[in-house]
Amino acid sequence: MKQIVDRLRQEAARLLAAGDVAMVIGYAKGTDVARTTPYFATNEEEAQNLTWNPFCTNNLVKYLLDFRFEDTKLAVVVKGCDSKGINRLIYDRQFPRERVVVLGVPCGGLLDRSKVLATIDPGAELQSVEDLGQEFVVRTDHGEFTFAKEQYLLPKCAVCRNPNPVISDVLLGEELPVAEEEKSDTFDDIVEMEALDPAAKSAFWDRHFNRCLRCYACRNVCPACNCRECAFEQAVPGWQQEACWLSKKASVDNNYTFHLIRMFDVTGRCIDCGECERVCPVNIPLRKLYRKVIKDVQELFGDTTPGLNIGDGLPLTSYRKEDPEEFM
Amino acid sequence: MTVKLINKDRFNVFLERLASGNELVAPIEEDGNIFYRRVTSVNEITLEADAFCFAPKGHFFPQYEVLYKYQQGSNALVLEEPGPAGPSVLLGVKPCDARALLSLDPVFDGNYKDAYYLDKRVKTTIIGLSCRKVRYNCFCRAFGFGPTSGEGADLFLTEVKDGYLAEALTSKGEALLKDYSDLFTETGVDGALQEKEQLAVQLDTQFKRKVDLDGVKARLDNMFEHPYWERLARKCLTCGICTFVCPTCHCFDIIDENGGGSNCGSRLRCWDACMFTDFTLHTSGHNPRPGKKERVRNRFMHKLKYHLDRYRVTGCVGCGRCIEKCPVNMDIIQVIAEIKEVG
Ligand code: SF4
Ligand code: SF4
Ligand code: SF4
Ligand code: SF4
Ligand code: SF4
């Protein structure tokens, strides 16, 4: 990991010094041992604060949109999963390819923060992390800890098929081998849900949606949610709320509407980076929704997970003669 | 002030009886989240020592609530207000959350009396509970109280070896001890009080993060235009998490919803947050806080300055929830330290 960190700082400093980019969006040390924070380096000195370790969970791609109406060039650090978000923004014409330098990290997986914090004191100072393939060795001022990946990876990382960025300008480490059997998604989580009877499914989602706070963190972090104005935040006065798609009242029926609209909006577009589920403050299993539609689209149109390449048409917005139409 | 003791077995009887005679609201777990909810069976109650628990502010200020219903009659508009709240008991309230109510009270009980909040506030008895562990991001101590402070509660419990120490801090608390006097005893109170003192000393050593608010407000008084906000705000997603989990955030929006028959509907108020793009958006289209910088600045200014300016009580009580739940590690403890560096 040290090599990646050194390479990252070097590359960021070089890009900033040469004026190739105005800013490098990456990660810096967070406020507890198992956390990092998004960081925006604007000069060589700040580039030295950039870091890389298995706590770099945030997908940073969404920040590009904050600069979409400017003309500066930016660099952004991406893992395999995040990199699909770059393709999403390019395909959606939200950010031009020529304005972004993609710093790709072949990713050995992320550690599950809550599991790690059950072992290491959150106040410990992170000194270094080494990726030994099957395990991470985490060195802190409170001692050295070994975390077997099998047990400590985030669920999404345990089944990751794209640890290597699918798009990158500078690769900050050696490409990782991916076993052939790991390359296709078996959707076990979705198959399990599909097997439930309708009443059980309904009870499941009632319970989860009922506690949605409608904080919109899931939307705000999502690279596929890139509309300038959102259907859920229409600028109308209170007495005209009726004209909106959705009322502010966070009741279970409205929350269903919110979640199902969002699900349809990201159909064929969700890159399955899992950020929505991570940021949700009330643990709603959102990936189950979006992975269901990924699976459906795959079965109907044979597309793979969106974002693997820039693409030449999305299943739901393009027309092909051979598209299924048994419902017509 | 009456101080009594209740043993563990009797405590369960106490809960049973509270739940049968009142609306009892207590921490209840669901899919790994702990919320204050109405208790249907006392077995659901989780008084866990070391878990994240959402704030109980929703009991007084629900995420959405009907202000009144309207119906267009043949010659007049008929309005129907919701009935008054019944008496309720809020159980297991942490010291920071009890303190937070004292920061919310002047907002809803100031020049303008908010009937909806006050009705529930007056009719609720608050049973506080000393913390048994200090979480990593807790910093209540910086605000001059601590994990065994009962301020804001009516009856304040502390778990001790033999049960719970119960201190009545208000007349509502006294009434509770009187109503359930068959369950509480005076024997052993002195020992339990000593145990509480020891607990306080021990908990005090558990605070990991150093927070010093000295001079922060004075710096903020002159920091409105500081470039710091722009830098700080970059990473913010402007979601509503930090404000929705905060026990002192209290912004709301009022909406009308037609429905439930012809020519009728209801007027509701719903939680709002200064992080949202349509927050206080003017009809003209002007937005006083058009971007992240203004929104993030507003939250920290409100927590650490505006609330003090307006009400002389802090807008933050150091519960650490916003730190814990923020998806980008925006950390008010770090912000406090940085304000002192850059301001
Ligand atoms: S899903 Fe893959 S690329 Fe993404 S963080 Fe996990 S291991 Fe890395
Ligand atoms: S992040 Fe969670 S709580 Fe917030 S709107 Fe999304 S699903 Fe609801
Ligand atoms: S500070 Fe964190 S929780 Fe608050 S709006 Fe920004 S990203 Fe969301
Ligand atoms: S600002 Fe944060 S720490 Fe302060 S009371 Fe609100 S949630 Fe708690
Ligand atoms: S911080 Fe924002 S949401 Fe919270 S009370 Fe202040 S203005 Fe309202």
Spatial distance between the Cα atoms of B149 and B143, rounded to a whole number of angstroms? 12
Model confidence pLDDT, tens digit, residues B56-99? 999 999 999 999 999 988 888 999 999 999 999 999 999 999 99
Contact present, B165 and B189 (Cβ < 8 Å): yes
The pLDDT value given to residue B38: 96
The pLDDT value given to residue A235: 64
The pLDDT value given to residue A317: 75
Chain A residues touching chain B at CB-CB below 8 Å: 30-32, 35-40, 58, 62-63, 66, 121-123, 207-208, 211, 213-217, 220-221, 233-235, 237-239, 241-242, 247-251, 278-279, 281-283
Split at pLDDT 50, 70, 90, the class of B49 is confident
Confirm or reject contact between B40 and chain A (CB < 8 A): no
Q: Do A239 and B256 touch (CB under 8 A)?
A: yes
Model confidence pLDDT, tens digit, residues A199-213? 999 999 999 999 999
Judge if pTM exceeds 0.90.
Answer: yes
Q: How far is CA A298 from CA A157, A169, A269, B73, B301, in A?
A: 21, 29, 12, 54, 49
Task: Enumerate the domain spans of chain B.
Answer: 3-53+83-204
Closest ligand 2 atom to the C-alpha of A217?
A: 1
Q: How far is CA A41 from CA A22, A35, B234, in A?
A: 9, 18, 11
Q: How far is CA A169 from CA A27, A67, A71, A91, A307, in A?
A: 18, 19, 19, 17, 16
Q: Is B196 left (phi over 0), alpha (psi -120 to 50) or beta?
A: alpha
What is the three-state SS of chain A? CHHHHHHHHHHHHHHHHCCCCCEEEEEEECCCCCCEEEEEECCHHHHCCCECCCCCCCCCHHHHHHHCCCCCCEEEEECHHHHHHHHHHHHCCCCCHHHEEEEECCCCCCECHHHHHCCCCCCCCEEEEEECCCEEEEEECCEEEEEEHHHHECHHHHCCCCCCCCCCCEECCCCCCCCHHHCCCCCHHHHHHHCCCHHHHHHHHHHHHHCCCCCCHHHHHCCCCCCCCCCCCCCCCHHHHHHCCCCCCCCHHHHHHHHHHHHHHCCCCCCCCCHHHHHCCCCCCHHHHHHHHHHHHHHHHCCCCCCCCCCCCCCCCCCCCCCCCCCC
Structure tokens at B146: 């601590």
β-strand B64-72 against B77-80: which pairing, if any? antiparallel
Nearest CA in chain A to B34: A282
What is the share, in percent, of chain B residues with pLDDT greater than 70?
100
Contact present, B203 and B289 (Cβ < 8 Å): no
Model confidence pLDDT, tens digit, residues B216-259? 999 999 999 999 999 999 999 999 999 999 999 999 999 888 87
The pLDDT value given to residue A172: 96
Contacts of A239 in chain B (CB under 8 A): 255-256
Contacts of A121 in chain B (CB under 8 A): 208
CB B322 near ligand 4, within 6 Å: yes
Model confidence pLDDT, tens digit, residues B134-183? 999 999 999 999 999 999 999 999 999 989 999 999 999 999 999 999 99
Q: How many CA atoms lie within 13 A of A270 on its CB side?
A: 27
Q: Mean pLDDT of residues grouped by 10 in chain A (328 residues)?
A: 95 98 98 98 98 97 96 97 95 94 97 96 95 96 96 93 94 88 82 96 97 97 91 70 77 94 92 95 97 91 80 74 72
Model confidence pLDDT, tens digit, residues A83-129? 999 999 999 999 999 999 999 999 999 999 999 999 999 999 999 99
Q: How far is the CA of A158 from the centre of ligand 1 (A)?
A: 8
Backbone angles phi, psi at B3, to 5 degrees: -125, 130
Give residues 174 to 193 of B whose Cβ lies within 8 Å of A.
Answer: none
Q: What is the CA radius of gyration of chain A?
A: 21
The pLDDT value given to residue A159: 87
Model confidence pLDDT, tens digit, residues B108-138? 999 999 999 999 999 999 999 999 999 999 9
Q: How far is the CA of B250 from the centre of ligand 5 (A)?
A: 6
